[in-house]
Structure 1
């Protein structure tokens, strides 16, 4: 025995945890049910006052999951006069003693309210000591008692399934105790249906009958309800039911892809769905080039995925029809968008559905930064200040500032900015971000070989399959098709892109018919603004913000708008041709120099000067050069070599040739 607070009683109460039973019949003063040895209770040593422990500790207010509209309030007695009575909405018996009450005219015995609350909260500890009873092998009765007893959840006889018989008098089918609190149902795809008390007495949308008491799956805002027994198997799992050909030709909306059909359809009467013939075999799980995780087909959407746009076409996905989604990243795609091109995806087997693809720019399993480069020294913050990169023979030092602006990263060929590594023995620079890229990565969204791997390479000439620029810097090579992606493109994502030249975020469109706002060229894919007529092609999306050119001694800055009101002044200071004021250009504010971006950057800007060219018929080594002041004549065409050329490094050999005069056509297209 241990003393406790008196719970409003005038005398002290003690806790009886089953050590003894009352000498005569005793009843709980709150629920008015008999106090037995099996249930802990409080008792008064001076008078015949008893309280079940669960009744004594019952909260004054319950936010019940099965009745989310209002809280349930604990009342000491029925709110009506003694001449009237109320019926418990759970057990269908007259309410006695303390009750839980809601203004919706919902009434519960205190024991019924606490029991259903524990079930809703999955507090099933009280069921663990109760043995399951199988009605088929029970020998304690002849079945008549089971016929008269009903499950308190579905109101069906206990004979229909394995059940629990609890000490508190409740009988519950095992399958009912394990019901999910929320489901998706084909009869109402706008919202999930929640397991609730049918206080509104809604009729079932499936059988059209009204259940007097018990539970239903319900959407209160839409007044849609389905009886527990009327809930069919969800089609969200791998569809195992046969489809039947529906010969009647009539327009319909396919439940699997959400598009219209005007021919015969296939139906599944179990799941109540109608689909195109080709949608009967839609894969459940696919790996798409547009996302780094596997995505799943669903006929329903979670609340946090509704009212979202397709990750491919960026139009809203209708929540009432099928789609592909990733629950981790909260992305969604139209079925027809993600399966439009067979090279954009591959099917993932159900056995591997829990596997997650590696993020495009993440390290491979078991790989660390140290395997990409060897860390020689670190600073106090743990940052690598001296490394040995696997693509360079000497040690590299971490730098924060650079005095010269004409240095480019050996990896991406963009101008060096803050956070870079440099070699103190030779002219080698590498952005810190480029240095930390992995040796090998899973396919990125730009790569059409989605089952292949990309391997980091360098030192040979390639044309990027995305931006089409020619380069001999670092690249990722596909081990299936031998295609190349430059580092500038491999770090792009199909996600939202911000641009300093435009106020709104940009989205990648796989199909678009607009002109690039930077260069004015027509584009068929690229980054576009959904709200206004602004677009960037894949060649312009990675333009350097600053660069240098021999036309000006200062750094030229990428400029997005020409504020000069004099149209006659809008000329390029390099080619002296007129500039389009709507297109971006490079500008020097000090000298008021303005030039076309292509005149400043040139088409072959990503080829490293001084690097060796390993092809060709010349017997000596050739290097890439660009003459600035002295222009020798090309050995092939006889014209001055003003642009990119190849020059022999052997002393006494005056061989020099335009790059365009010897380059193979497959590299020049």
Structure 2
């Protein structure tokens, strides 16, 4: 027998008709599913090759009624480079042969054939299966039924009588009997045909886009309606607490602009004839008052605004213009505006505020965690004539601190932000503790706008090493920590806001974009979220926004200044004085104007610019105290990897103990 007669297998195959002598579990090489001992199949006596009879008989091409646009072709292997593909029906990974369409649809053999039989009303598989009623006690308990979903509507089986098939498919009786075509009042021009939602159309009634499943669709007109929206039509009259009048259902045959969100809708609309507004079905229940991470006050939904109500017409999130004649979210205190769909795009970006809490206009008024307060982190001991605190007691240091503006030593770093001391600062007379005045005046607790736990406050802490949630830098300075998710934010990032940001490296103000495609003008890397300029093609990584403007390095006795690509006259600075490699003048670097020396940012700052050398590491397994060091004159071998400790390392301070280890060799996995 030829190889083609053996369905592509090199050995003879034996047909087993509802009987088998195999003792081990076997899987069909086409569909990847288990071959039942009682199911008709073909098997190889020499190796573990098996095929279901129905998979052998599967046609090489299907003109599927649920996908009339193109035929489905049977492929033995995935058409994709990585080899993986997801079935567009069951949403599971395809492990073997698939039915594939040129428009990007992929189906398991079993899924494609089963839906084909359902579409053609070939109910042979259902004739031997008893119809089950979830209200009648069966072998399945309620929890199990709740976990099983109908293969067509993907709703739990508990919602209706159903078939449960031997092949693993579950199907509501009402879904098995769905008509292939319907006439619907939302689209009079053509009938709607039941099919796969291959083009991911949103439903014209509920405006939602389901991840998988079927819709009734008119492809030429791009009209789609979910099965559920057909079987459960919208209510003729809807009342909602956010609006003083009831809304009446209105089937409209042409596009309209929703008065609530300002975007286009069609087919199913609700109107308020008293207020002369028309809205999407889903926009009836828009929250009236919310707290958004993008603004420090509560914002209110408005159907329209007058010109004098606003300072700026641009959305505070996407920065595109908002048409105030349509719905938006608005802060009357700051006179700012935001698109409805921008504010509500991600459920972690906002939470709903009840009308009785409307007076809570500021984030500072939100409830703190039990037992917490917002006491100042400093105790003022002395003030000067201008009322400025000149002597304080900081809660993170044992001694009193004195205010100074004169920088005597140029290699001192702030214990809070880990930057070089460059402005007014507090210092300790008894030990080498320095703290910028701005860092000393930070509150004990703070709401952080980009943090996902929106209703939580973050608490100022220190004495451990962490990775910043925003810029991803590792630091052992001060951090704000969330008690709910354990996220930590460094002091550099906690001062960033979604509002306008000024940068010395660019002449225009920068705006925060949650979604941005382009290159960072500081380092040249790809960007997803960025601070960018609306007027020109300038954008920065979040980590590059916080780059220190001054730094020190052992190769130069002076302070090095950050030099920007669009504002320097150092065309002769072609080489780094640290690594002696070339410098790309299109990106930022450090320069000493006195010595005319230049260096890459990475060469000056290193891999760990926010870890203070000489600080104690308290979290390791070594029995003695360890300090962070960088060896310069000799390079002892790391106790872990045996290589010289030229980079950041931890060294034991106990006399007689020669323990030294690379930081990268013992750093916790979460860092």
Aligned position for 2:569? 563
CA distance in 2, matches of 1:310, 1:236: 27
> Structure 1 residue 591 and structure 2 residue 595: aligned?
yes
Aligned position for 1:528? 532
Q: 5 Å matches for 1:90-239?
A: 238-239=242-243
**576, 580, 586: which one pairs with 1:582?**
586
Aligned position for 2:249? 245
Q: 5 Å matches for 1:109-508?
A: 238-306=242-310, 308-358=313-363, 371-441=376-446, 443-508=447-512
**CA deviation string 1:295-349 (max 9, x = no partner):** 0000121323456110011111102100001010111100001111000000000
**CA deviation string 1:347-401 (max 9, x = no partner):** 000001121224599x99x999974211111111111111111110000000111
Aligned position for 2:631? 627
Question: What SS is found at the alignment partner of 2:326?
Answer: coil
Aligned position for 2:542? 538
Deviation at 1:249, TM superposition (A): 3.8
CA distance in 2, matches of 1:583, 1:543: 13
CA distance in 1, matches of 2:562, 2:278: 55
Change in CA separation of 1:275 and 1:584 when aligned onto 2, cut-off 3 Å = same
**CA deviation string 1:117-148 (max 9, x = no partner):** xxxxxxxxxxxxxxxxxxxxxxxxxxxxxxxx
TM-score if structure 1 supplies the norm length? 0.61
Aligned position for 1:129? none
Aligned position for 2:551? 547
CA distance in 1, matches of 2:419, 2:263: 45
The answer to which of 235-244 and 493-502 deviates more is: 235-244
**CA deviation string 1:500-523 (max 9, x = no partner):** 111111111111011111011111
**CA deviation string 1:71-126 (max 9, x = no partner):** xxxxxxxxxxxxxxxxxxxxxxxxxxxxxxxxxxxxxxxxxxxxxxxxxxxxxxxx
Question: What SS is found at the alignment partner of 2:308?
Answer: helix
Q: In the alignment, is the contact (CA less than 8 A) between 1:236 and 1:298 conserved in 2?
A: no
**655, 663, 667: which one pairs with 1:663?**
667
CA distance in 2, matches of 1:446, 1:538: 12
Deviation at 1:577, TM superposition (A): 2.3
Aligned position for 2:100? none
Q: In the alignment, is the contact (CA less than 8 A) between 1:558 and 1:586 conserved in 2?
A: yes
- Residues matched between the structures, number: 430
**CA deviation string 1:145-171 (max 9, x = no partner):** xxxxxxxxxxxxxxxxxxxxxxxxxxx
CA distance in 1, matches of 2:300, 2:401: 45
CA distance in 2, matches of 1:518, 1:504: 15
Deviation at 1:289, TM superposition (A): 0.3
- Structure 1: gaps of 5 or more residues: 1-234
Question: What SS is found at the alignment partner of 1:508?
Answer: strand
Deviation at 1:617, TM superposition (A): 2.7
CA radius of gyration, larger in = 1
**CA deviation string 1:540-565 (max 9, x = no partner):** 11222111001212111111135344
Question: What SS is found at the alignment partner of 1:310?
Answer: coil
Change in CA separation of 1:343 and 1:367 when aligned onto 2, cut-off 3 Å = closer
Question: What SS is found at the alignment partner of 2:559?
Answer: strand
**CA deviation string 1:528-548 (max 9, x = no partner):** 011111111110112221110
CA distance in 1, matches of 2:255, 2:562: 54
The answer to which of 241-250 and 586-595 deviates more is: 241-250
Change in CA separation of 1:483 and 1:453 when aligned onto 2, cut-off 3 Å = same
Q: In the alignment, is the contact (CA less than 8 A) between 2:448 and 2:457 conserved in 1?
A: no
Question: What SS is found at the alignment partner of 2:543?
Answer: coil
Q: In the alignment, is the contact (CA less than 8 A) between 1:236 and 1:300 conserved in 2?
A: no
CA distance in 2, matches of 1:458, 1:352: 34
CA distance in 2, matches of 1:420, 1:287: 35
Change in CA separation of 1:381 and 1:440 when aligned onto 2, cut-off 3 Å = same
Change in CA separation of 1:236 and 1:332 when aligned onto 2, cut-off 3 Å = farther
**CA deviation string 1:208-253 (max 9, x = no partner):** xxxxxxxxxxxxxxxxxxxxxxxxxxx9993032222222342111
The answer to which of 572-581 and 521-530 deviates more is: 572-581
Question: What SS is found at the alignment partner of 2:304?
Answer: coil
CA distance in 2, matches of 1:434, 1:537: 23
CA distance in 2, matches of 1:249, 1:651: 86
Q: In the alignment, is the contact (CA less than 8 A) between 2:240 and 2:284 conserved in 1?
A: no
CA distance in 2, matches of 1:449, 1:589: 45
Change in CA separation of 1:640 and 1:304 when aligned onto 2, cut-off 3 Å = farther
Change in CA separation of 1:291 and 1:520 when aligned onto 2, cut-off 3 Å = same
Aligned position for 2:79? none
Change in CA separation of 1:314 and 1:617 when aligned onto 2, cut-off 3 Å = same
Change in CA separation of 1:340 and 1:261 when aligned onto 2, cut-off 3 Å = same
**CA deviation string 1:172-231 (max 9, x = no partner):** xxxxxxxxxxxxxxxxxxxxxxxxxxxxxxxxxxxxxxxxxxxxxxxxxxxxxxxxxxxx
